[in-house]
Chains A and B, each alone.
Chain A
Amino acid sequence: MARSRDRKTVPPGDAPRVIDQGSVWILVAAPSIWAAHFLLSYWVAAIWCAKLGRGTSLAEPRWIIAGLGGLCIAAIIGLAVLAIRRYGGVFVIFEEITESSERARDRFVGHLALLLCVLSAVAILFTVIPGMVLGEC
């Protein structure tokens, strides 16, 4: 509706909405989980190999990396559920969410978050593979 001079105009607040509906943080959440897993895996292995020397068995780091991977993928699945339930995100190839409404914007964010969840989960699996394959430093 139009604003007129007699009705004091207070444009809606722009406080970042962190986890509630309408948040954009869900877009960066899944790739950030990938980044965290990637860096933790790298650090665990690098510190392990630097402190214990060449030829050390990687048995323990292997399970840390895989375990972390499992946890992270679980968290990403949680995010994906959130993207579907709360945002109405759908997994489609030919996306046509071009309606001009808050609901459409939410569905777009949900759809995008869902795609990013899939990509991040795949990337985490990529990171876990070396941990499974290599036996020693």
Chain B
Amino acid sequence: MTQEIDLSKLPPAEPYDKARDEAQRARLMKVWQTPTGWRRISAVNNSSVGKWYLLTSFAFFTFAGFLALLIRAQLAVPNNDLLSQGLYNQLFTLHGTAMMFLFAVPIFEAVAILILPEILGARDLPFPRLSAFGYWCFLIGGIFVCGSVFFGVAPDGGWFMYAPLSSDPDYSGLGADIWLLGLSFIEVSSIAAAVELIVGVLKSRPPGMRLNLIPLYCWYVLVVAGMILFAFPPLIAGDLLLEMERAFDWAFFDPDRGGDPLLWQHLFWIFGHPEVYIIFLPSIALIATILPTFAGRPMVGHSWIVLSAVGVAFLSFGLWVHHMFTTGLPEISLSFFSAASEAVSVPTGIQIFCFIATMLVSKVRRSVPMLFAGGALAIFVFGGLTGVMVALVPFDWQAHDSYFVVAHLHYTLIGGMLFPLFAGVHYWYPFVTQKKMSDKLGRWSFWLMFGGFNLTFLPMHWTGVMGMPRRVWTYDVTDGWAVLNMVSTVGAFIFAAGFVVLAVNVLWPRGKAPLVERNLWNAGTMEWSAEVPDKPWGVRSIPYIHTRYPLWEQKGLLGEMDRGEWFLPDAEEGKRELIITDILDARPLYVQRVGGPSYLTIGAAFCLGAVFILATFHLWTLTLLFGAGFAGFTLWWLWTGTAEIPEKSEKEAGRGLVLPTYAQGNSSPGWWAVFITMTGDMTAFMGLVFSYFFYWTALPDFLPGAAKLPGFGWLLLGLALLLAGWATGLLARERLARGGPAQAMALLLVGVPLGAAGVGAWCWAAWRAGLDATETSFDATVWVLILWLGLHLLLDAVMRLYVAARIWRGRCTPRYRADCVNLTLFTHFLALTAVVIFALLALFPMLMGVA
């Protein structure tokens, strides 16, 4: 047994004192207040950022839905020429792209940013400014991608952008670049949110909330954020390769030069299939949170739901080839993926059965959220069953790229994602606005959408089986699809009408409507502990949690929290403070200070957005300038807002608990953020490693003769220099800890030229061997690996200079050295990258007997 603070035996709270309570509330209010007027955009509170995120995602949803109506209008009658073929291609591409990247994934982040801290009884997430930065990235990138359609240059290669259509600029114009760069930019915000949410669930839980007490919603958030970390980076690697081919003619996907278009499909679907579950699980999480409230009892099979979330997360990574059943891969390969596709229905089914069991053993209260949840389950189960059908290779060969697949994917996504989300909108609307939505309009919107949805998509199963290919611009009356298509179009407009009713219900001004009562649904989870009217601080005091449904099972908790009897009831130092706890048992570890409102995050996001947008138009000088601007804003933000040395080393956190005010190494959230980010970075790198081995497997003469290989000696020298650079980082950390800041600074600085020399030696080796990235896929792969390392070394150099400057200015000291510890963690990953690249370039060819 580990050392334990027994939170249940803390001394009793001091007697209530009205004057003290009011003074504490005033101080908390001052610290947590959201700026007003136009300054509001500098807000970083999860309640503000979450709301913006949510509304922006829904704006993109509305836009993409409008595109869908145009698509349906075009398909309503045979031989229609309402839209030109070129515009039609742009519309369906943008519809899929916007729904997936600008709605389905961001809405998960939006909801999580909005409700996760409150479910955790926390004041905010551990990196509020990172959330704000992610939001601004998302907004800028989304407008850029969507706006392209108004200039007639929207991407038009389908939402999965298959090469060679997308890799040859002659076939696909600017649209493909907008897709690649715009979405890469948005992926930055997804990964930022993933880091935030993982650290949030692991480290920002309320004291006492052990692993066995975590609410189901938090399990799902943890699992999904982890999936983002492993699913998105391969696409970033793919984007890099595809953009290098488009912009600089590097040979990755061109078969004439030893490339292979199938590589793109692999990299895309290694991302794309888990993404389906990244979308689905968070929405199912909403049902898992709503259902116990209306059932009035804890979820049946709590741990089985955790099992299914974790199980689905893993198995969903073994499904990607089921999108590639018709590409001519060996049958044995297809069969593995078919088997995994069937296996994933086991955990998916388990959670549905848990929901049904919970409803069976209790008397469920009727309500609009439950109406949507029930509709969701009905639609999703139908889509899941057609999923089991298309997971079978022979059936898929018949249905592939037909409207049957369109019907299947909309049944899973709308049933698995959209309807639960609407249930959540009705359920949490009073939490966000303290007003209640109209039940009557809610029921209208449900039945319109439920009916309209089925009318639209059910006939598509038949149009598909009758042979209508997806993405087809128009058809002839002799094809026999006319009636079914007209039915689908009518259904789509009914569905849209339902959404309009919902939007009116949400946006209806309710200024004079009465406030709702506190915890109006009588829920058990912590977000309903919020006072009415709402306060910007989240919770008055951070409570000790020792049950799964605290509002049901911890009597008197609300009163204790309101009277400030729990932790951090005050903000004496005028700082925004959170409690960081440990992963297993949520023992309080330290008091974290987080940044308040800031424009720096907006500046950083704006400059980074400009980098991606300008790169689309190949305006390299401006791109570099804005890149420097991004670096400047980010460094300014870090310098002034992170790892600040506290004015006192520990503070009273309430109830006699004294906690440190600074942490470093793996007890600090910053360390975990670096660790998690770099895990994602390694996944992207693994995408490049996968490409190398993919070429080697698929192409008989991928590895060139010995004369065309980079020289072993130079590669070895480069590796030695790079590892020496890594060692300087380690030594610097040790020297600093032992009280030698000057030596630490010198060591950090020496590492910069060492790294540059190391990557220089590798460039020289590749150049001497005459490797030309535009000639063969091997040459291009070698250069992209060196480029990858070079970019990371650039980042390493900036960070070394930053930490050295922090030490010099006394902001990073032997006692408070989080920056230096985090830098060392980064260099571990860098060293691992270098070793793997060395193995690929020097050792593997030797092993294969080429060198």
A14 with B666: CB separation less than 8 A: yes
B589 interface neighbour in A11, A22, A94, A108, Cβ under 8 Å: A11
Closest to A56 in B: B330
Please name all residues of chain B whose beta carbon is closer than 8 Å to the beta carbon of A27 when the two chains form the complex: 310
Please name all residues of chain A whose beta carbon is closer than 8 Å to the beta carbon of B667 when the two chains form the complex: 11, 13-14
**In the complex, A102 has a CB within 8 A of chain B:** yes
**In the complex, A71 has a CB within 8 A of chain B:** no
**In the complex, A109 has a CB within 8 A of chain B:** yes
Please name all residues of chain B whose beta carbon is closer than 8 Å to the beta carbon of A11 when the two chains form the complex: 5, 587-590, 659-660, 667
B331 interface neighbour in A24, A104, A112, A134, Cβ under 8 Å: A134
Of the 9-residue stretches B186-194, B206-214, B747-755, B774-782, which lies at the interface with chain A?
B206-214
> How far, in angstroms, from A109 to B214 measured CA to CA in the complex?
12
B343 with A123: CB separation less than 8 A: yes
**In the complex, B338 has a CB within 8 A of chain A:** yes
Please name all residues of chain B whose beta carbon is closer than 8 Å to the beta carbon of A58 when the two chains form the complex: 332
For A22-39 the 0/1 string (1 means CB < 8 A from B) is: 101001100110110010
> How far, in angstroms, from A111 to B342 measured CA to CA in the complex?
25
Quick one: which of A14, A100, A115, A127 has the most chain B CB within 10 A? A14
B4 interface neighbour in A46, A102, A129, Cβ under 8 Å: A102
Q: In whole Å, how far is A87's beta carbon from the nearest beta carbon of chain B?
A: 11
With A12-B587, A13-B667: A100-B8 Cβ-Cβ less than 8 Å = yes
B2 with A22: CB separation less than 8 A: yes
A119 with B582: CB separation less than 8 A: no
B588 with A127: CB separation less than 8 A: no
Please name all residues of chain A whose beta carbon is closer than 8 Å to the beta carbon of B658 when the two chains form the complex: 3-5, 9
A3 with B5: CB separation less than 8 A: yes
B210 with A130: CB separation less than 8 A: no
> How far, in angstroms, from A8 to B212 measured CA to CA in the complex?
30
> How far, in angstroms, from A100 to B4 measured CA to CA in the complex?
12
Q: In whole Å, how far is A54's beta carbon from the nearest beta carbon of chain B?
A: 7
With A4-B658, A127-B336: A47-B585 Cβ-Cβ less than 8 Å = no
User: Within B649-682, which residues are at the interface with A (CB < 8 Å)?
Assistant: 650, 652, 655-660, 666-667
Please name all residues of chain B whose beta carbon is closer than 8 Å to the beta carbon of A59 when the two chains form the complex: none
A31 interface neighbour in B4, B314, B332, Cβ under 8 Å: B314
> How far, in angstroms, from A100 to B7 measured CA to CA in the complex?
10
For A99-137 the 0/1 string (1 means CB < 8 A from B) is: 110101101110110011001101100110111011001
B311 with A119: CB separation less than 8 A: yes
**In the complex, B232 has a CB within 8 A of chain A:** no
Please name all residues of chain A whose beta carbon is closer than 8 Å to the beta carbon of B832 when the two chains form the complex: none
A14 with B9: CB separation less than 8 A: no
Of the 9-residue stretches B24-32, B63-71, B296-304, which lies at the interface with chain A?
B296-304
A130 with B698: CB separation less than 8 A: no
Please name all residues of chain A whose beta carbon is closer than 8 Å to the beta carbon of B546 when the two chains form the complex: 100
**In the complex, B335 has a CB within 8 A of chain A:** yes
> How far, in angstroms, from A133 to B331 measured CA to CA in the complex?
11
A116 with B311: CB separation less than 8 A: yes
A2 with B346: CB separation less than 8 A: no
A126 interface neighbour in B211, B313, B339, B590, Cβ under 8 Å: B339
> How far, in angstroms, from A125 to B211 measured CA to CA in the complex?
30
For A70-94 the 0/1 string (1 means CB < 8 A from B) is: 0000000000000000000000011
A105 with B590: CB separation less than 8 A: no
B210 interface neighbour in A16, A104, A115, A133, Cβ under 8 Å: A104
A102 interface neighbour in B1, B303, B342, Cβ under 8 Å: B1
Please name all residues of chain B whose beta carbon is closer than 8 Å to the beta carbon of A104 when the two chains form the complex: 210, 212
> How far, in angstroms, from A45 to B304 measured CA to CA in the complex?
34
Residues of chain B having any CB pair with chain A under 8 Å = 1-6, 8-11, 208, 210-213, 300-304, 306-307, 310-311, 313-315, 317-318, 329-333, 335-340, 342-343, 346-347, 546-548, 582-585, 587-590, 650, 652, 655-660, 666-667, 697-698
A-B contact pairs, 12 of them (CB 8 A): A1-B6, A2-B11, A2-B656, A38-B340, A45-B336, A46-B333, A50-B698, A98-B213, A100-B208, A102-B4, A108-B210, A119-B311
A-B pairs with lowest CB-CB distance, top 7: A130-B335, A108-B212, A100-B546, A31-B314, A2-B656, A49-B330, A126-B339
Q: A11-B667, A104-B212 are in contact. List 4 more A-B contacts (CB 8 A).
A: A45-B333, A46-B333, A98-B547, A105-B211
